Structure 1
């Protein structure tokens, strides 16, 4: 079972338009309403792959109730934590060339009591979890050290932790020694405080995160593929994509594939790449099923192209 924790979930509406024209009335050619948030997306991808998953989410108001209903309809067990504020609603506008414009709401502010209730809910499910995926930004009211506390408690229950966050909350959590961290190129650059121009730069940055406490670093390099940096070695992989339709949730689908495949080694990296590549070719934040995966499009090697220049160069914010 893969347990997911999404401290700041959302109700996501995605509209497909011929072109985004500022100041004009746009007519959508397609519309999707999905439960959102990085951890929620991981649960959706795990469920689509046929595995059991439980989503721990703070939910409030009518948007929160709809998020719970949508998750349940997708076969996901929901562990809701009631909060006073309303769950945020996000808007995404997708253009035919794959360009995505997003407007993300801040979300509710959690009280100290709600924060503790959320941690307790995670603790209740931790003993039964093969992996716990803690994902996304922290809502107002939670200190940057909140993820570090969650990692410490989960390790105390014998669970393995995969963390997908950035900024101060990522840096604070490293001292608690999460088993896996999953930054993208920009987040990796921010964590080490310097720009990353090549794959070799990204490898060095990932190794630095391991020195600070991360067990494994699964780094997304966008169109340039992914890196897996562990105590056993370094692997680089890429996946051919026919056409990008939407990259919403693609990184979350990738993490789900990685964890569902065991969460370690080159085979898990290949699964991550296959899931991520399938996700970007689907509309909105739709998660791939096994039928959408194309393992033959994936290449994984220990011969890392150190000098390959990143097309989406990571720069500290």
Structure 2
């Protein structure tokens, strides 16, 4: 299968704690806890691997707590080309409740030097030749500016690569100006970035028009309301299946991986969106988001309808 390179600039160790109900200001007793090597690009890589694709991973990692990542890379069979820098990779604390609500406390991340950035650039350039799609996902670490994110995207485009970007806030606003091949914001992220409502297709189209967004594939996740794929030729809506939500961690990354999988598998647009929506929906039914049984994806696809938005 095709090779995909994922770039995770600010990875994290996700510590997910399950409790009955979060009582702020009081002692809460956990039901379970899990620590995972994570980061949006790594999450995309894991799902792509589960779908049969070759995942090459790079970005920055702290030397002092690298063991959990090295073990994860070996287990998943990733082609690891991370730049190991001084310090620790951050921790993200995620508190999940029985209702499905998730409270996130995200760490700030390490600081990147100019030498670190040069090392990453050289590494990516060395890895690019066999790669068709490059995924740049997640937040930016300290010392890596939004201007440098735009420069990275534009440079990858000059190399003839399809660039997928999944980020938020000022990084999303900046990345959009570089016109990557695909972005995958949710409605809240669009509203935060552009201070415009983005709940409906009409609002999304207006936001894209008002801000001169010229991106071929704008995939907008809307939780239980499904997914809108705002495309100049075949705009589509996928209705989300009814599932019991256990955790939303990795759901957006799973959707991104599903879209890439559909493209690499040469699916029709309708089949691509249906498959990607099923993969994202499967993620929320479990703690973690690995695809352990492909039949679960097929079962969810039977519950999903895809309609034209044109």
User: TM-score, with normalisation over the residues of structure 2?
Assistant: 0.91
- 5+ residue gaps, structure 2, are none
Distance across 2 between alignment mates of 1:71 and 1:237: 33
Partner of 1:286: 289
Partner of 1:22: 24
The alignment partner of 2:81 has SS state of strand
Alignment check: 8 A CA contact 2:249 2:284 kept: yes
Distance across 1 between alignment mates of 2:213 and 2:190: 13
- 5+ residue gaps, structure 1, are 305-317
In the TM superposition, residue 8 of structure 1 has moved relative to its aligned partner by 0.2
Partner of 2:127: 125
Alignment check: 8 A CA contact 1:61 1:86 kept: yes
Alignment check: 8 A CA contact 1:207 1:229 kept: no
Report the count of equivalent residues: 302
Distance across 2 between alignment mates of 1:25 and 1:257: 39
Alignment check: 8 A CA contact 2:113 2:143 kept: yes
In the TM superposition, residue 233 of structure 1 has moved relative to its aligned partner by 2.5
In the TM superposition, residue 157 of structure 1 has moved relative to its aligned partner by 2.0
In the TM superposition, residue 112 of structure 1 has moved relative to its aligned partner by 1.4
Alignment check: 8 A CA contact 1:11 1:64 kept: no
Question: Is 1:31 the equivalent of 2:30?
Answer: no
User: TM-score, with normalisation over the residues of structure 1?
Assistant: 0.89
Partner of 1:247: 248
In the TM superposition, residue 142 of structure 1 has moved relative to its aligned partner by 0.6
Question: In structure 2, do the counterparts of structure 1 residues 207 and 121 end up closer, same or farther at CA, with 3 Å as the change threshold?
Answer: farther
Distance across 2 between alignment mates of 1:43 and 1:208: 33
The alignment partner of 1:92 has SS state of strand
Distance across 2 between alignment mates of 1:57 and 1:243: 34
Partner of 1:54: 56
Greater than 6 Å deviation, 4+ residue runs: none
Partner of 1:228: 229
The alignment yields a C-alpha RMSD, in angstroms, of: 1.9
The alignment partner of 2:205 has SS state of helix
- Equivalent residue for 2:101, pick from 99, 102, 105: 99
Distance across 1 between alignment mates of 2:278 and 2:307: 15
1:94-124 CA-partner distances (Å, limit 9, x unpaired): 1111011111110101011112222222222
Structural mapping, 1:131-150, within 5 Å: 131-150=133-152
Alignment check: 8 A CA contact 2:136 2:164 kept: yes
Is the deviation greater in 80-89 or in 14-23? 14-23
Alignment check: 8 A CA contact 2:12 2:38 kept: yes
Distance across 2 between alignment mates of 1:291 and 1:28: 32
Alignment check: 8 A CA contact 1:192 1:208 kept: no
